[in-house]
Structure 1
Amino acid sequence: MSAELISAVRGRDAAGAGRLLGAGADPDTREEASGLTALMIAAGQADAPTVRVLIEAGADVLTGDRRAGATALHKACQGGSLEVVRALVEAGAFVDAVAPTTGHTALMDALWYKYPDIARYLLDRGAGLKVYTHYGFSLEQHFEYELNVNTFGKEKLLEAERYLNARRGGDEEAVARQELMAAVAEGDTERVRKLLDGGAEVDERYPNVGGFNDSHTPLLVASRDGHTEIVRLLLAAGADANAVEPTFGAVPLHKAVYNGHADITADLVRQDGIDLDFQGATNGYTPLHDALWHGYEDCARTLVEAGARLDAVGHDGKTPLDLAAEVFGADHALTARIRAAR
C-alpha cells in the first residue's frame, strides 16, 4: 500500500491517494529511493490538492527528508505553489525551520528559486531575516549572491528585494512604536506606569527582528530581567501571566525562576489562573524544574508551596526530585520535602 500511495502522489492523483489513505495507508510513507515523504513529494510538485489530502490524513508537516533534512515547506518553496506553502504553514509548519545540511530556511529557498509571492507570504508570517546558511552567508549575502549570478528571471529577484526592504522598514517602524517594551527593557518604572495609564497595549508582542525579545510580551521581558515593580504594574494592568514566547516555549514563570527572581516568582504564583506546571517546548521542563536546575532554592520553595506538580517529567526523563537531589543533594531539606510530598 505504501508503494501505491507514492505512485499516486507521483502521478498527482489526489483522489487515488485519498482512497489509499482511507484504506489505511500511512500518510508519512517515504519513498525509498529519494527519502522523501509523500507530503514532500506533493509539495515539491506544487500539487495542492494532494497536499491537502495528505494533511487531512495527518501527514507530519515538520519532519525532514533523509538526505538533506529539509521539510515539506522547503520543498514547497522549490515547487513554487503559494497555495501549498499556505496550506503547510496553516497546518503548523515552522516558517523558520532550517535544513541541517545547508542552513537554508524556507524564505531562503523561496528567494533562491525566484518565487517572490511566496517570499512575500513568508515575510508577512514573520520569517526571520537575521539567519545564516551553514556555509557562512547571511540571508542578505545569500540574496546578493543570487542577484549577481542570475541573468534569467532577475526581475523576480528584484521584486522579492522590494518585499525584503519593505519588511525591514516595517520592522523598524514596529520597534519604534513599541514604547512600552522599550520602557520595560530599560527598567523605567515611571514611564511604564505612564504608558499603561495612557492605554498602552499590555500584551503587545515584540516584532521578530532576530533579537532576545522576539515575540515576547512586556511581562515576559520584565520577568526575565528582574524588574519587580514593572511586573506588578503589568499584572495590575491585566497582562497575561501565561503568555508563551515561541523560541523556548517559556512562560513568565520560567523566565523569573530561570534567573532567580524570587519576588517576581512569588507575585506570579498568586495570579488567578496561573499555570504552575507549563512545560517548555525545548526541554519539557516546568518552572519548578528550571528553579531546581539553576539552584534557586527560594524560587523552588515558592513553587512547591504553591502546589506545583512534583511528578512532571522533562524530555530528559528527570522529575523535580531528580533535579533536587542532583543540585542540592539527596539529604538537603528541599529534596527531602519534595520526596515526602511525592
Structure 2
Amino acid sequence: MATTLHEEFIRAVHKGDTESVSGFLTLGADVDPRDPASGLTALMIAAGRGNAAMVRLLLDAGADVYTADSRGGGTALHKAVQGGDGETVRILLDAGAFVDAVTPTTGHTPLMDALWYKWPEVVAVLLDHGAGLNLSTHYGFSMREHFAYELNVNTRGKDRLLDAERLLTSRTETDNAAAEAHKLMGAVVAGDLGAVRQQLAEGAEVDERFPLLNGFNDGHTPLLVACRDGHEEIARELIAAGADVNAVEPVFGAVPLHKAVYNGHTGITALLAITPGIDLDFQGITNGYTPLHDALWHGYEECARILIDAGARLDLAGHDGKRAADIAREDLGADHPLARALAGATPGTAVRSN
C-alpha cells in the first residue's frame, strides 16, 4: 500500500531527517499532523528527541507550540524536558511555550518533569524563564514534596538531583529577596497611603511588577492591586505618578479597570474612566470579557453605568459569544431598565444608562 504524504512526513520526523521534513513542508504537508501510534504532533516528537534543528524548522513553519498530546496532555515543552536537551527547551520557551503548562492527567509542570528526569541543566533553563516553585500536582504533592519524594526513591543520579536542589534554593532566595524589596507593593497591599507617597518620593518604580511566586499579586503592578483591593486614594496617587492605566497582569490577562469593576469599586471605576489614554474596552485573555462585561456579570450596576456613560463599546463579544446586553439580561433580568436600554441599543450609539 502506498504511503501518504502525512505518513512520510511523520516517518521523516522520527528519523530526524530535517532535509526531508523541509521538502515535505514545501510540498504542502501539514506541519501539525499527529502520529497515529502515539498521538504526538511532529513538534512533540522532535522536541522529545532533543532535535533542536527540527524544532526550529517546525516552529518556523507554524507548528503549534501550545497544543497538548491526545493521551497524557503534555505539551511539546514537556516532551523536550523529558528528552533533556536544554537548547530545545530554550527554543520552545522563546517561541512562547508556557513555562508552567500543566498536564491535565498528572498536574505536572515542565519543572516538575525536569526534576523527575534528573536534568539540572534543564531546571536551570526553566528557572531562568520564571518557572513557578509553588505549584502542586493533581495527586496532592507540592513541587517541593514531589522533589523530596524523588530524592527518597532514587538510588542513582542523586548527585544530579542535588545539583537541581541547589538551583531551587538559589531561586527561592532570589524570589524572597525580590518580594521583600518591593516596598511600594507592600505599602499598596497594606493600604498605607503615606507609605505609598514616601516610596514614590524616594524613586520607587511606579509600574514595577511583583515577582511570580504563585500568589495573588503575581506579575501585578501596584496600580492593578490598588484597583483590585479598593484603595481609591492610592490609585489616584499612582496614576498621578504616571502608572500605566492599561497594564495587563499575566494571570487572567486583566487591566486595572477589570480589577475595579469586578470588585464593585465605583470610585476607582469613575477615576479610571476619565483618565487620559484609558482603554475602556480591553478584552481579557481568559474569557474575552471587557470591563463592562465584568461589571454586569457581577451585578455592579453603578460601575456598568459609569462605563456606558464614558463610551464603552456594546458590540464586543466574549469567548462565549455574549455581549453586554446578554450579560445584563441574564444577571439583572430582562425587565431591568439597564438591560432594556442595552437590548434596544444600536452598537456605536449612545445609551441612556438611567
Same fold at TM > 0.5 = yes
CA-CA distance at 1:337 after TM superposition? 2.5
The whole-number CA distance in structure 2 between the counterparts of 1:22 and 1:310 is 44
The whole-number CA distance in structure 2 between the counterparts of 1:316 and 1:329 is 19
The whole-number CA distance in structure 2 between the counterparts of 1:155 and 1:175 is 31
Matches within 5 A, 1:50-65: 50-65=54-69
The whole-number CA distance in structure 1 between the counterparts of 2:140 and 2:54 is 36
CA-CA distance at 1:330 after TM superposition? 1.8
Matches within 5 A, 1:141-156: 141-156=145-160
CA-CA distance at 1:326 after TM superposition? 1.1
70, 83, 90: which one aligns with 1:66: 70
Structure 1 residue runs without a partner (length 5+): none
Matched, 1:282 2:286: yes
74, 82, 94: which one aligns with 1:90: 94
The whole-number CA distance in structure 2 between the counterparts of 1:23 and 1:338 is 52
Describe the superposition over 1:241-298 as per-residue Cα deviations: whole angstroms up to 9, x where unpaired: 1111111111101000000001101111112221111111111111000000001111
222, 226, 231: which one aligns with 1:222: 226
CA-CA distance at 1:341 after TM superposition? 3.0
The whole-number CA distance in structure 2 between the counterparts of 1:22 and 1:91 is 22
Matched, 1:208 2:208: no
The whole-number CA distance in structure 1 between the counterparts of 2:233 and 2:46 is 53
CA-CA distance at 1:68 after TM superposition? 0.2
The whole-number CA distance in structure 1 between the counterparts of 2:291 and 2:97 is 27
Matched, 1:272 2:264: no
The whole-number CA distance in structure 2 between the counterparts of 1:186 and 1:124 is 30
1:218 partner letter: P
Match of 2:352 in 1: none
Residue aligned with 1:128, SS: coil
Describe the superposition over 1:200-223 as per-residue Cα deviations: whole angstroms up to 9, x where unpaired: 001111111121101111000000
Matched, 1:46 2:50: yes
1:296 partner letter: Y
2:48 partner letter: G
Match of 1:294 in 2: 298
Deviates more, 1:191-200 or 1:145-154: 145-154
Matched, 1:235 2:239: yes
The whole-number CA distance in structure 2 between the counterparts of 1:50 and 1:3 is 17
CA-CA distance at 1:336 after TM superposition? 2.6
Residue aligned with 2:344, SS: helix
1:164 partner letter: L
The whole-number CA distance in structure 2 between the counterparts of 1:163 and 1:182 is 27
Matched, 1:77 2:81: yes
Matches within 5 A, 1:105-120: 105-120=109-124
Residue aligned with 2:268, SS: helix
246, 254, 258: which one aligns with 1:254: 258
Match of 2:174 in 1: 170
Matched, 1:199 2:198: no
2:149 partner letter: Y
Divergent runs of 4+, >4 A:
none
What RMSD over aligned residues (CA atoms) do the two structures have, in Å? 1.0
Aligned length: 342
Matched, 1:15 2:8: no
302, 319, 322: which one aligns with 1:315: 319
Deviates more, 1:1-10 or 1:290-299: 1-10
1:208 partner letter: L
Describe the superposition over 1:70-102 as per-residue Cα deviations: whole angstroms up to 9, x where unpaired: 000000000111111111111111111101111
1:214 partner letter: D
TM-score, normalising length: structure 2: 0.95
115, 125, 128: which one aligns with 2:132: 128
Structure 2 residue runs without a partner (length 5+): 347-354
1, 7, 14: which one aligns with 1:3: 7
Residue aligned with 2:217, SS: coil
